[in-house]
Amino acid sequence: MKQLQNRIAEGGLALPVAALFGIVVWLFSGLLTQQLWPQLACFVASVYLMVELTNQNALLRVRSRMVSSTFIILSSTACFLYPHFTGGVVQLCFIVSFLFLFQTYQDSQAVGRTFYAFLAIGLASLAYVHVLFFVPLLWVLMATQLQALSARTWLASLIGLATPYWFTLLWLLIPFEPSADWAIDLRPLGDHFAQLTEFYFEPGIFTLRHILVLSFTLLLTATGIIHFWQYSFEDKIRIRLLYGFFTTMTAFTLLFIFLQPQHFNVLMRICFISASTLIAHVATFTSSRVSNILFFVSLALALAITIMNV
């Protein structure tokens, strides 16, 4: 028997209400006073692409906008991240990458789509070089979950990653003064990649608001993972593999956050992409009285955390 949570999940008002809630949170988070219009543009594009990601891959076997709605709500709980433009750019690039990667499912000859997927990752790494730590993981997931890794797609991924840096080298080569020599200065790129070797643990960055967002996301995501794998037989094999992709990405990102908490601002935005799909699945397909209560308790907690962080 369908509960109220199921009617909300399958109804047409979930996304508009979540979007309205998100706009209000943006306004109270300094959209006008801090002029966060570029950050808002990245976020709106990310929400739209999350809708496309859900539609193109049928992540939920019913017509629902819960993935994108959950994405908005999770992002709202961490509204203190909104001014961080780099996080918004990286998040947008990852969603674009997932859109192209999922189109390579069981196609080891999909060099074009693989190129564009890793081009997006390469662009993200220009803004946040630690994104490169995700590249080996993406190769493993292409081989195990997407079954699309071959010598050709692997080479295409390398070319896609390198392409933004080829243009960067050209930019470094062009002199800004007419009398300047055509000599390339690689120090900016060297300093950029040198950040990959900086490993240190900075637990002091975890304030109460960080702990609340992280704990809330971790709890709901763990529930989503357990529920999906208990009832994964109800989904097609392709959907199981995609959710395996999301599960691995979420686990890796959370582990990264615990090991390097100073990168919370960007990594949490990446985590929201995968976590929202897992949380949306359990919210859509559980229909007991207990799950209905927990659904509204989760919404109340999300609202409380958002208000506190605003």
pLDDT, tens digit (0-9, with 9 covering 90-100), for 59-81: 888 888 899 999 999 999 999 99
Band of residue 185 on the pLDDT scale cut at 50, 70, 90 = low
3-state SS, 42-69, equals HHHHHHHHHHHHHHHHCCCCCCCCHHHH
Q: Record the pTM.
A: 0.92
Mean pLDDT over 181-198 rounds to 72
* Angle at CA of residue 301, ends 295 and 307, nearest 5°: 140
pLDDT at 282 over 60: yes
Contact between residue 78 and residue 275 where contact means Cβ atoms under 8 Å apart: no
pLDDT for residue 1 is more than 70: no
User: What is the model's pLDDT at position 4?
Assistant: 80
Task: Give the long-range contacts of residues 27-31, CB within 8 A, separation 24 or more.
Answer: 28/79, 28/310, 29/79, 29/80, 29/82, 29/83, 29/310, 30/82, 30/83, 31/82
Mean pLDDT (the chain, rounded) = 89
